[in-house]
Chain A
Amino acid sequence: MKISQQNLAGGQGRNFVNMERLIVIAILVVFFSTVVNAFGISSSYWRGNPYQIPPGETGTVGLRLQNMGTDEDVTVRARLVGGGEIANVDEKDYLVKAGTKDTEVLVEIKIPETDALGTKYVVTVTFETLSQTEQGVVSVGTGIDTSFDVLVVEAPPASSEIEIGTTTWIIVAVIIIILAIFIIWLVRKGKKPVRKSERAR
């Protein structure tokens, strides 16, 4: 932004000031450095649709950056501004290439073991585009605060894919015993001594 004041020769006192205000042309121009500024953030979790995790567990929520509305790459700075007691994010600049929607920012969630079921947290990450600053130009960037709920829930039951219950073990034991008895019987039967009369034949 440039402001000009010109001192005109030959004018004195109040007339000088009036002439100055009439004649001086200060064209105030504020240039925004970009034609279009746009980016987006998609998330599988948000306020009212929580990320659910049991106490003592660690999980990850992915926030996906998009830059589909412009032809230029955009750099976005991420900062964690809420929920820091359970969340952690790599606070750095992320380059989001034009025409892409898969630049992922990972938010690590770690829940204390002592948390009660039903405890709710709100995690907020703020994103702002980085604008080039230069003399005479005021750049306007875009910012988005993304928030999502985290809900502490009960751990799911263990998988029963290869679980063998007590009843099954009993059944297997019974079967083995029966087979063992049967085999022993067969073996002993096979070892019975042959009578003399049968040998003579």
Chain B
Amino acid sequence: MKTKVFYIGMITVLVMFFLIFYFGNFNLRNAITGRLSSRETNASISVVGVSPVTITVFNGTLTGATVDPTEDSNVSIVFYAVISDNDGAADINTTFVRANFSRTGEAAYHNNSCSQIGANLNTTSKNFSCTINMPYFASPLPWNVRVMATDLGNKTFFYNWNDNSTFTYAQLQAIQISHTALTWPSVAPGDINQSSNNDPTIINNTGNYNITNLTFQGFNLYGATSFINVANITISNSTGLSVECNPSNRTAGGTNVTVSLVNGTNVQIPAGFILRNDHTSNNNETGQEALYYCITTVPSNIPSETYSTTKGWVIKLI
């Protein structure tokens, strides 16, 4: 009788397991394990060979994350990679772990000497830290994270080409305007076409946004009893032969070279586009724009007094 009971019980248990794994499609097992519905995905790939090397790029704060550029500077991006070798951790070449950030159409950024962190993770794995500096002008959008490692055995060099380790470099709109004081040579009331003698204003693109529209907003200058119309001031991205004083100057293609300011209005700066780039060449072109100024007419009938504005002038990126 006891044997009969034992066999019935065993059959019952076996039937239960059969039903769970055949019809349940692991749903019940998943429901009671407390496993999260989403988790970080570690991509790995193995080299098939005598001594395979496995590379796992892992950093929960980088993969799939967004990193902000730093205005006019580099940002150091740290991430980690686990290198595994079935022949043992000692077979991993610790002096040859390299990494890069790459993106189609963009120059890659490298670290040729990632360093091991701490002791071995286990008998077959080591953890490495890689730091890559990204400049402020690097393209926004996703960048691929690639790691190369090798072992001491078969000298296999390998990148983790097939995983989806990426991060997003955010967009940064930033400009830097450099100026101390703008002066003119000796002028008298009624004079015309007087260029500043210590311009230009330098505008640097210090982000990774391609600036295609820069504007200048000026306001009239007011004294106690009179005012100076800001339309008497022109700006230009060129100089020489008083080109900055002639609003009718245009390029061969008909583009304005010089424009007059308009009170309280955003006037487009001539050729006001500054593509993202390293501006430190300081050639007034690469990642940079220069502005020249002219007073086309010095009013002849205004009294002697101080003229100023209650609203600051604005150079604006649109």
Contacts and interface: CB of A to CB of B under 8 A. Distances in A.
Contact of A144 (B27, B175, B181): B175
Nearest to B188: A21
Contacts of B70: 66, 68, 101
B25 A167 contact: yes
B285 interface: no
A80 B178 CA distance: 28
Contacts of A43: 170-171, 173
A44 B28 contact: no
A146 B68 CA distance: 15
Interface residues of B, number: 77
Contact of A5 (B25, B304, B315): B304
Contact of B180 (A21, A28, A32, A68): A32
B119 interface: no
Contacts of B305: 2-3
Contacts of A174: 19
Label chain B's interface by main secondary structure. mixed
Contact of A164 (B28, B188, B194): B28
B308 A66 contact: no
B141 interface: yes
Given A1-B221, A35-B179, A165-B27, A145 B317 contact: yes
Label chain A's interface by main secondary structure. mixed
- Which of A28, A138, A164 is most buried by chain B, counting CB atoms within 10 A of its CB? A28
Nearest to A37: B177
B71 A143 contact: no
Contacts, number: 223
A128 B316 contact: yes
Contacts of B72: 38, 68-69
B60 interface: no
Interface stretch (A85-93, A114-122, A129-137): A129-137
Interface in A32-77: 32, 34-44, 46, 49, 64, 66-69
Interface string B3-35: 001001100100110011001110110110001
Interface string A154-189: 000001111111011011101100110010001000
Contacts of B307: 1-3
A133 B308 contact: yes
B314 A141 contact: yes
B312 A139 contact: yes
Interface of B: 5, 8-9, 12, 15-16, 19-20, 23-25, 27-28, 30-31, 35-37, 66, 68-73, 140-141, 168, 170-184, 186-191, 194, 201, 206-207, 209, 217, 221, 228, 295, 298-299, 302-318
Interface of A: 1-6, 20-22, 24-32, 34-44, 46, 49, 64, 66-69, 101, 128, 130-131, 133-146, 159-165, 167-168, 170-172, 174-175, 178-179, 182, 186
10 closest Cβ contacts across the A-B interface? A40-B174, A131-B312, A143-B316, A38-B176, A161-B37, A139-B312, A68-B71, A40-B71, A28-B184, A42-B68
8 contacts: A1-B306, A2-B307, A26-B298, A36-B178, A39-B71, A134-B308, A135-B306, A167-B25
